[in-house]
Amino acid sequence: MNNLAIEGGKPVRSNKNFLVFGAPKIEEAEIEEVVDSMRCSWIGTGPKVERFEKDFAVYKGIKHAIALNSCTAALHLSMFAAGIGKGDEVITTPMTFCATINSIIHCGATPVLADCDKKTMNISPKEIEKKITAKTKAVLPVHFAGRCCDMNSIMDIARAYDLMVIEDCAHAIESEYHGVKAGLFGDIGCFSFYVTKNIITGEGGMVITKDNRMAERIKTMGLHGMSKNAWKRFSDKGYKHYQVIHAGYKYNMMDIQAAMGIHQLKRVDKYWKHREGIWNKYNDSFKDLFCEIPEKPAPETKHAYHLYTLLINIEKLKKERDWFLDALTAENIGVGVHYTPVHLHPFYKKNYGWEKGDFPNAEWIGERTISLPLSAALCDKDTDDVICAVHKILKK
Ligand SMILES: *Cc1c(COP(=O)(O)O)cnc(C)c1O
């Protein structure tokens, strides 16, 4: 007799105790800092954003960190700053969030996909090389789940073909590869502080670069194309006129957001340690079930442990992955899918001629993958419940 909640059995957690996927941990210091911004009536872009940028630059050990209102904005402006536009091609992975692809499209360029590796789920350098044409301008690697891409090979290719490298580090704030931090390999690195990410500002993003000219372009384009930002304009140092030098965007981060980021960043390592513990506990617990567990991080790398993904053995279970999503949800445990490969979404199929079968590894993952709750907000009881529910559903 089966006691799965999806078949009417008692769920592992009660309905009112539903474990939300990707819930952030928010502590008193950021609550007070947000309130302080509101009380002093400076909630827009100002001193807290400047401080968050400085702190982030120090954390990464880089000259420029520019805070924006999302990683999507960061990716978009990075393309622009890198001089990518109409007629150019940018190579990226199908195993990513749509924002990665949209940022390429928004700057007028054409996204070109290179399949990922089945084990690491990261873009395959061999596949990148196959997709290079005379139009290729840049490679956009995504450090999937917080596991660094094969950056030695990718940088070798970039040097050989004179390509820009823009890293999508939305999962990878803490990631390192052979002693180098994610975002520092290529020309530009983009980060996300969206609510489900490793540290959060609600909505928010950051661009890092060592290039003075690109940093200046990103700053200008992120605020209407104005050559001076609003805070400097209205500071007590006297009125400063601004000049519009581009048709820019409204992508600036607010002090209310930076107020959260400043305190979250102080705990980045503490939160990472907590997620590492959960990730390892999951990996030890799911060895003998109808699923594949993620590979251990490669030597000389630091995994950011943003996602914990299981690959369901749909052949042995004789059930589709979505059955597992429903079954875990019925146990009152939130779950995610990272990702349905981007080339299977209707817009891209229609406009780029991509079809099922084009990227077999990404599709293989896309049919089997599920992401379990992994966040600094989880307590031992939460993770025990997740383990208990997964065992109920996937036991042999
Ligand atoms: C979350 C995410 C983004 C977009 O980040 P936002 O800050 O929400 O714009 C981009 N790429 C990847 C891989 C992501 O997971």
Q: Is 258 touching ligand 1 by the criterion CB < 6 Å?
A: no
Residue located via tokens 């390999």: 185
Sheet with strand 369-372: strands edge to edge: 291-292, 308-312, 369-372
The residue whose CB lies within 8 Å of the most ligand 1 atoms, and thus the one to mutate among 21, 66, 68, 72, is 72
The pLDDT, as a whole number, for residue 239 is: 77
Most confident of 2-6, 242-246, 252-256: 252-256
Among candidate residues 60, 137, 197, 302, the one labeled active-site is 197
The pLDDT, as a whole number, for residue 325 is: 97
Report the separation in Å between the CA atom of 317 and the middle of ligand 1, taken as the mean of its atom positions.
32
Confidence label for 236 from pLDDT (cuts 50, 70 and 90)? low
Alpha-carbon torsion (248, 249, 254, 258), positive or negative: negative
Per the confidence metrics, is the pTM higher than 0.85?
Answer: yes
- Among 42-56, 73-87, 226-240, the range scoring the smallest mean pLDDT is 226-240
CB 197 within 8 A of CB 73: no
Closest ligand 1 atom, residue 171 Cα: 15
Copy the structure tokens of residue 189: 């690195």
The pLDDT, as a whole number, for residue 40 is: 93
- pLDDT one-digit tens code per residue, 208-221: 999 999 999 999 99
Cα distance between residue 345 and residue 203, in whole Å? 24
- pLDDT one-digit tens code per residue, 106-132: 999 999 999 999 999 999 999 999 999
Q: Is 46 touching ligand 1 by the criterion CB < 6 Å?
A: no
Residue 350 host element (H or E): helix 346-352
Confidence label for 4 from pLDDT (cuts 50, 70 and 90)? very high
Please indicate whether residue 318 is annotated as part of the active site. no
Report the amino acid identity of residue 17: N
CB 147 within 8 A of CB 175: yes
User: Going by C-beta distance under 8 Å and a sequence separation of 6 or more, which residues neighbour residue 267?
Assistant: 27, 199, 376
The pLDDT of 137-152, averaged and rounded, is: 98
How far lies 317's CA from each of 4, 230, 234, 311, 363, in Å?
15, 58, 64, 12, 19
Q: Is 171 touching ligand 1 by the criterion CB < 6 Å?
A: yes
Q: Residue 119, by phi and psi: left (phi above 0), alpha (psi -120 to 50) or beta?
A: alpha
The pLDDT, as a whole number, for residue 1 is: 46
Report the separation in Å between the CA atom of 97 and the middle of ligand 1, taken as the mean of its atom positions.
6
Q: Is 122 touching ligand 1 by the criterion CB < 6 Å?
A: no
Q: Is 170 touching ligand 1 by the criterion CB < 6 Å?
A: yes
CB 197 within 8 A of CB 306: yes
φ and ψ of 184, to 5 deg: -105, 0
The residue whose CB lies within 8 Å of the most ligand 1 atoms, and thus the one to mutate among 100, 104, 144, 249, is 100
The residue whose CB lies within 8 Å of the most ligand 1 atoms, and thus the one to mutate among 70, 71, 143, is 71
Mean pLDDT of the chain: 96
- pLDDT one-digit tens code per residue, 281-327: 999 999 999 999 999 999 999 999 999 999 999 999 999 999 999 99
- In three-state secondary structure terms, 385 is helix
Q: Is 185 touching ligand 1 by the criterion CB < 6 Å?
A: no
User: Going by C-beta distance under 8 Å and a sequence separation of 6 or more, which residues neighbour residue 380?
Assistant: none
DSSP, res 56: H
Instruction: Calculate the dihedral angle through the C-alpha atoms of 18, 375, 280, 265, rounding to the nearest 10 degrees.
Output: -170
Sheet with strand 301-302: strands edge to edge: 180-181, 176-177, 301-302
Structural domains of the chain sorted by starting position, each given as residue range(s) with its CATH number in brackets? 15-24+268-394 (3.90.1150.10), 28-266 (3.40.640.10)
CB 362 within 8 A of CB 144: no
